[in-house]
Structure 1
């Protein structure tokens, strides 16, 4: 790769070259035929053949460190506001790693955090400063280390960690003693000169300490420590390791793989806790979320840590930075701008690239030699070395072969290849070739050797096929990673997109416009799937890919699922054409015998429309009235921010109305929406 740039000219030149070499009618005919048959390898081959033997040039394209920018941002940050906090973070990110300017910017940000009462943020910056200094000074501490230790002590006091605060003061005093001994040539405690020098140094450092700050108002917390990922209901499934044993994987000839309830599942139960096979971050979230775990960087305790090579991405901790670099960021950092060329491709191209990286290097440690094709997982390459229009072996209906962490489960996801237009696939195929070349170069394979070696040409072709396959799969299988932001005026949590991910277990759930589960994002891309109403034994576990039946009419919903996911929705809401507007004062009770719908026939009785069973509804009315009071009480608690107290009340109410009310029911939907709001507060949140 050549020098850093910032306008993606390398890709645009490649794209222009591809279009220029593939404009003939003969090419279009061959490519369109391969597109229609979903022959990915053939589509890649057509473009590679048209390009000819000339090498594919890949230049570095990323936002590198910028000393002038760092100095300018630090000078501009002269107010105690969020905007100026962001400028200091920008300065820290732009400064060369472990340079004096970096430490100066970091210290400035720590002092600003302390001045505004954000003690946890201040402490994190102080610890990062000390750790980074220690790694390069090797015991040769400067005066700044004393200032940082005193500041860290004050921050700990602000957090009421008095023991830790005293320990940091003791560390600072040890350094002062060492400086005094060096200055006067002795460290004898009875030496008058030593005592005077130590006292003078102590006085000087005390004069530089900041005035005590007032703690900032308590805000929502969002860190890996605070947001514990819950366990699944019961035990983990025998082979679906991310799912509860309350569900089972079934193969249906018309639906494909799907999940069903093995036993009754109460509302609020955790049925799946899935980890992403690969994930990525949206462009808009790069400045406000950790690249690796997606923890919010906008909260009072946050102290963003920059990449040591670029200034485009931030992390919530040094640990996330190191893990990210070893797993994937080192293969994308120097080409990061390429993933932001086309607005429509920003998420899918990076997610496809990360999916290929994860699969290709599975089982390989960061210390292994990645300088040849032997560094890439051979099983992964074999999957894409043959035409994969129908990966029959991977999608065999034997559920006991299913392994959630195996790339074959991702490879087996429906791609609906052949349903994309030739124009779309041409663009994707060209991009796949370019990204495959980027990956090869990131693996330290010489561009010259790549073009001369037939083996490396095969590697380029196979990796490009894998990229194209991933782009197809992502189009209809990727899930959004979201964080929830509370609107203080409406007191409602609204979702905000952070990124996208591929989940091998969650993807087994089918769609319904009236789902019985809901997904919530947790740190490190984890997704927690809970039931939002009672799911009886034998019922299918159903997610919602599009709009709820109350949000749009049946035709609109079906058009969306047909265009995006290539199926005609046959859920209860669509088959029965449930109305978007449900009456507030009218509902039907549920038959005890067959669970059908009971219509009121007299003042005290209702008759089932299915089996004719008559039911005394007076008891139901009393149960409903008493139970609704729980929902209203829960709403008051939610308004005050006490979501953990509101949730049990809502689940009790849900248990009651699931037994007595027939669907659709506005009371049932309201309860489910309130349950979702409580779960929003328990998942990833931000401000």
Structure 2
């Protein structure tokens, strides 16, 4: 196929070809008769090859001319004191510059000026050294040495890049769930499947779990501002030696990413982006790459392990994909997407060749890619931050990445949740948003809240994406949306100055007011649904969000 083809285009072209050849019914019957994910992918791959729908392979290589263009753009923004944009363009210039080139040295040097101007002296010194190690012109080296002396000249106050407060430590660890506190347990029933119950009363604000994802992915829009491996904000990123789409906060992250997954993503990353694969598509691929060393023992996995290890692929493997509820109209396009991904791995990377048992493991690769294309939409979580806008206000949740959090995925939905999630780096901290009684189920919100969405909308979207009919109290009692809620509680108003301070990201105000908000929410729980209670809960969520990932403008 031609350039600029998208993965959805491939599926649509395949459907048109089948229709033209009067093969739609036959194909549908054959596909419906398949029993495994790997067979569905294999079948789709044969159709793609039969109709010659494989996309033309492309790659964006390092290019010094493009690097220079971005550096010039950076200079323009710097002269206009648009330091945020200048930093991004200089980092793009670094990403596109060929290895050990003059263009790379100049890009590092120019970025060091921004870092100096914003008092990031430690980062500036690193970029100065990087410039000198990458063919920076000798006759200009004195400029860098002058810059170095400015960084070291006292008194100098280094600007600290405080992206998030350290995640809290779980004081009483759970012996059976390695990321959780002892206040909960995993339960199983025919009606609810696996779910999480409180084994004691949990007050508002208590830390229930702190989970690092098995696998995580940075969204494309943030690759020139955040580390592609740990997903943390970084102003002195270093590039991958082979591609222009992966940058890292350190050599340690760079080496870790290469060993874990990037050695196989690097040759095909341009195609992955050109095909416009979604974050869930890309995360399904990355999970499969990371799990390659245990392909041979997947059949021996035990879904009923006594200890739930959220850092293990085994737990990710058993997340619910609802395959039995999906029809061919759902599974066929996913299978085509998985086939396209597999085709890239097979023909343009060493992944298949490097597997321990290539012939047997090919089936496993196909199986897992499609498996996680199904588990992703119902289980994976966003990694987000509070972000400062041009007016100094902080948006409460800007998605920067996605992660496969197996324990968080066990928590069922409610349109009136009793837990909240906050990202600290790539970790998710789970806290009680409402008082949770012993024996009560922990309930998260999957994006459809009673105060924001009406019942019909919530029911429709939850059924479409998650395959269940919500029976939470807000749905059963048909609670009104926020503007139509009764006030009920009197004598408690959230001060406008307090709200303004929180909107501007004031951590001091958040720490000071949080205990009062939690106490009032605890005592008002029996008044739900209530407009004041809903407002207090949203304020509690904003306070905790400010302790997590928080990106200020420079």
Both structures adopt the same fold (TM-score exceeding 0.5): yes
What is the CA–CA distance in structure 2 between the aligned matches of 1:527 and 1:349, rounded to whole Å? 21
What is the CA–CA distance in structure 1 between the aligned matches of 2:508 and 2:100, rounded to whole Å? 43
Of 403, 406, 425 in structure 1, the residue corresponding to residue 331 of structure 2 is: 425
Of 349, 363, 378 in structure 1, the residue corresponding to residue 281 of structure 2 is: 349
What is the CA–CA distance in structure 1 between the aligned matches of 2:193 and 2:545, rounded to whole Å? 31
Indicate the residue corresponding to 1:72 in structure 2. 69
TM-score by length of 2: 0.85
Indicate the residue corresponding to 2:366 in structure 1. 464
- Secondary structure class of the residue paired with 2:33: helix
Indicate the residue corresponding to 1:104 in structure 2. 106
Superposition deviation, residue 310 in structure 1: 1.5
| Structure 2 contact 125–151 (Cα < 8 Å) conserved | no
Superposition deviation, residue 129 in structure 1: 4.4
Superposition deviation, residue 360 in structure 1: 1.4
Change (3 A) 1:341 1:70: closer
What is the CA–CA distance in structure 2 between the aligned matches of 1:273 and 1:17, rounded to whole Å? 44
Of 436, 439, 443 in structure 2, the residue corresponding to residue 535 of structure 1 is: 436
Superposition deviation, residue 239 in structure 1: 2.0
What is the CA–CA distance in structure 2 between the aligned matches of 1:425 and 1:16, rounded to whole Å? 17
Counting matched residue pairs gives: 542
Equivalences for residues 289-328 of structure 1 within 5 A: 289-297=226-234, 302-328=235-261
Equivalences for residues 420-569 of structure 1 within 5 A: 420-440=326-346, 444=350, 456-487=358-389, 489=391, 491-523=393-425, 525-569=426-470
Indicate the residue corresponding to 2:97 in structure 1. 95
Superposition deviation, residue 479 in structure 1: 1.1
Change (3 A) 1:554 1:88: same
| Structure 2 contact 382–400 (Cα < 8 Å) conserved | yes
Indicate the residue corresponding to 2:58 in structure 1. 61
Indicate the residue corresponding to 1:685 in structure 2. 550
Equivalences for residues 197-236 of structure 1 within 5 A: 221-223=161-163, 227-232=165-170, 234-236=171-173
Superposition deviation, residue 41 in structure 1: 3.2
Indicate the residue corresponding to 1:257 in structure 2. 194
Q: Over aligned residue pairs, what C-alpha RMSD do you find?
A: 3.8
Change (3 A) 1:133 1:655: same
Superposition deviation, residue 675 in structure 1: 1.1
What is the CA–CA distance in structure 2 between the aligned matches of 1:487 and 1:131, rounded to whole Å? 31
Q: Does 1:379 align with 2:325?
A: no
Change (3 A) 1:56 1:443: farther
Of 471, 495, 499 in structure 2, the residue corresponding to residue 570 of structure 1 is: 471
Change (3 A) 1:355 1:646: same
- Secondary structure class of the residue paired with 1:101: helix
Equivalences for residues 130-141 of structure 1 within 5 A: 130=129
Q: Does 1:42 align with 2:39?
A: yes
Q: Does 1:403 align with 2:400?
A: no
Change (3 A) 1:41 1:87: closer
Change (3 A) 1:532 1:488: farther
| Structure 1 contact 493–680 (Cα < 8 Å) conserved | no
Greater alpha carbon shift after TM alignment, 550-559 vs 18-27: 18-27
Change (3 A) 1:633 1:400: farther
What is the CA–CA distance in structure 2 between the aligned matches of 1:9 and 1:655, rounded to whole Å? 52
Superposition deviation, residue 248 in structure 1: 1.3
Superposition deviation, residue 316 in structure 1: 3.4
| Structure 2 contact 200–439 (Cα < 8 Å) conserved | yes
What is the CA–CA distance in structure 1 between the aligned matches of 2:443 and 2:531, rounded to whole Å? 19
Change (3 A) 1:238 1:228: same
Deviations along 1:4-26, one digit per CA (max 9) or x if unpaired, are x9746999889968986896343
What is the CA–CA distance in structure 2 between the aligned matches of 1:561 and 1:584, rounded to whole Å? 23
Deviations along 1:407-429, one digit per CA (max 9) or x if unpaired, are 22111111011433424422322
Q: Does 1:151 align with 2:147?
A: yes
- Secondary structure class of the residue paired with 2:422: strand
- Secondary structure class of the residue paired with 1:78: helix
Indicate the residue corresponding to 2:523 in structure 1. 659
Superposition deviation, residue 331 in structure 1: 1.1
| Structure 2 contact 485–531 (Cα < 8 Å) conserved | yes
What is the CA–CA distance in structure 2 between the aligned matches of 1:127 and 1:52, rounded to whole Å? 49
Q: Which runs of 5+ in 2 are unaligned?
A: none
| Structure 2 contact 75–86 (Cα < 8 Å) conserved | yes
| Structure 1 contact 514–573 (Cα < 8 Å) conserved | yes
Deviations along 1:125-156, one digit per CA (max 9) or x if unpaired, are 4314425856x89xxx9676665344233124
- Secondary structure class of the residue paired with 2:194: strand
Indicate the residue corresponding to 2:320 in structure 1. 414
Change (3 A) 1:6 1:67: farther
What is the CA–CA distance in structure 2 between the aligned matches of 1:460 and 1:288, rounded to whole Å? 36
